[in-house]
Amino acid sequence: MLPLFNSRKPFANGLAEHQCPRCHREVELPLGQLCRQCRAEIERRAARIGHIVSLTSTAAVAVYVFARMAPGDTLGRNVGIAGIVVWFILSNMVVRRIVREWIS
């Protein structure tokens, strides 16, 4: 049976790196992979930048939503709050992914 094209195995079984391509620590890794410390550092930086950017953009969206809202509209307020929460989650995920791809 032929291997799947999306499998994580390299085409040749012997391909391995003996140092991390990013920090040059001595480790045994599959070809093209980063060590655990480098992945953790990238994830920490992405989380920090993601929180800062998503909090800033969420604050701007919240100001806009509540400025455009009618004073006594409770349904609109609830929908606005739900939209702001969803905006924070989605913007955080998108920014983290962009930073992860950009740094590594």
Condensed to tens digits (0 to 9), the pLDDT of residues 18-28 reads: 788 888 888 88
> How confident is the model over 33-71, as pLDDT tens digits?
888 898 999 999 999 999 999 999 999 999 999 999 988
Closest CA to 37 of 46, 50, 27, 49: 27
Helix (H) or strand (E) holding 28: strand 26-30
In this prediction, residue 102 carries a pLDDT of: 93
Residue 16: count other Cβ atoms within 10 Å of its Cβ.
13
In this prediction, residue 12 carries a pLDDT of: 54
The ranges assigned to domains in the chain are 1-34, 36-103
The β-bridge partners of 17 are: 29
For residues 83 and 90, what is the distance between their CA atoms, to the nearest angstrom? 10
In this prediction, residue 104 carries a pLDDT of: 78
Q: What is the maximum alpha-carbon separation in the chain?
A: 68
* pTM (2 d.p.): 0.74
Span 91-101, average pLDDT:
96
Cα–Cα distances (Å) from 45 to 7, 38, 65, 85, in that order, read 28, 11, 30, 22
Quick check: 4 pLDDT over 60?
A: no
